[in-house]
Structure 1
Amino acid sequence: MKKVYVIHENSEWTDHLTRRLEELEVPYEEWHLDQGTLDLSAEPPEGIFYSRMSASSHTRDHRFAAEYTAQVLAWLEVHGRKVLNGTRALQLEVSKVLQYLELNKYGVHTPKTVAAVGRGQILEAAAQFDGKAFITKHNRAGKGLGVQLFQTMDALRSYVESPGFEEPVDGITLIQEYIQSPESFITRCEFVGGNFVYAVKVDTSEGFQLCPADACQIGDLFCPVGEEVEEKPKFQIIDGFSDPIIERYKQVLAENSIRVAGIEFIRDASGEIFTYDINTNTNYNSDAEAKAGKFGMLEVAAFLKKELGNL
């Protein structure tokens, strides 16, 4: 029997999807690819293959999950299987450098960013920002890895030369201009099947929980998935959101064979949009969705059901 194969390495982030697949009576199987074997002489089963491999997999002791998944996706694609968020999507998932290059190619503005390998080179790169505030982040990120705000070179030097310096898993640190927004929020646009589903406004005034599965908290502006504070919702789906940037995002996703993703941006004081992340392993905030009556994982499950039916 043909079925949907869900490729991932984190069950906590996948349960929300499998519950919806069961609700829609979609046959499925999970492939948990933190380790395994791949017989290159074997043929893959028939079905739809949907990858939810995460850039932060190494933080869950799944150091080579993304690398192994890349080989499995290539094997599936060589055999002509229908792969959603395949090889190209994974390449962008694990590299913000590649994300920014693709966004820029289609006219999407990103913050000024310099990639550096080596502690001395990080300091050298930061000197290009002419005394303005900047942030550091990991090239292979997720979970806000390596995100810190610096106002001065001295502060950066103290951090880089300290035992507390956080080495990126791929060795690449990004130094990026800090975009000052007049209001403390960012916007995340969700896409399923290449189509825009909704935009969510994320209050960043007091920090936030990183995601439904982790209790991490970071003081940056870069991940919208999490829980509500008591006073007011931290995550609000924007009713009737519309902006020309949506069509550019759709083009970027289509040209890179990305079918499911969340794309994040921030506006500066002049209203200009700066896009800084494409997340192909997107999650959704249940409280915000319940209030708006829109459900991202249900959309994903329905999309997978339709793709399976088209085989």
Structure 2
Amino acid sequence: MSNEMNTVNQENTQTPVEQTADGRYKVTKRDLRRTAARYNFMACNIFNYESQMGPAVAWAMAPVLRKIYKDDEEYKVALNNHFNYYNSTTAMSSVILGATLAIEEKDGIEAKETVQSLKTSLMGPFAGVGDTLIWVLWPTIMGSISGYMAQQGNPLGAIVWFICNILFWFVKSKLFEVGYTSGTKLITNLGKRLAVFTEAASIMGLSVVGALIATSVKMTTGLNFKVGEVKLALQADVLDKIMPALLPVLLTVLVYKLLGNKKWTPTKLILLIIVIALVCSFFGILTV
């Protein structure tokens, strides 16, 4: 972090700093392009299973955040805020991160909760759109065309695919600018109602996290109770009747509580879950 701070400080002394009417740093198009490039390069390269794309977001935003936050403590708080869990389609993330950058430029460290709530609430819906268009539709169409041309011995197949991906790089950079512009308009229009927006984004974010638990955490039991001719499946006839995905919720609550204990680290929790899964699967308590 210190090297990053020194590098940005040197840049600030070499180039004039634009400011807004209230004296805050004015983000430039060069800042937007650089942040977008840093994120698109590293989004999947420093991915981890604890915060997923969080480190990539923090690394991408570090230079421009240093310009926005002159106070070292505010800069650290803002940077740590971006280390939190985040995961979405890379291209669609450009829109989200551009919008959060506009919020930080306008309201500074006071918008810390708004920034996190906005990222959490949008990453799921945007990922749904991005995964469909970018990971399914785009490579299917262009890959089929390029692959067919290559099978016919036409070298243009590889060239077309290469050119398309270069063009797509500029599209992702442009999406970052679109997100930033949208975020600026959002803050300008909301004005004093930012607190209401923050609360709404927080509620939506919690809803997204709740949906992720039900869809992403898989945990079912194969236990059955049998008395005479009566057979009762614990999962289908009891737990699902109480609340679908009850076991995933209980597991999530357990992990959440343990993460609050300093003796437990994410690595220890992963190993614990693996051990529980193996033991319970062996004895038929849990099923796939």
Please tell me whether Structure 1 or Structure 2 has the larger radius of gyration of its CA atoms. 2
Common fold by TM > 0.5? no
Q: What's the TM-score, normalizing by structure 1?
A: 0.20
Structure having the larger proportion of residues in strand: 1
More helix by percentage? 2
TM-score by length of 2: 0.22
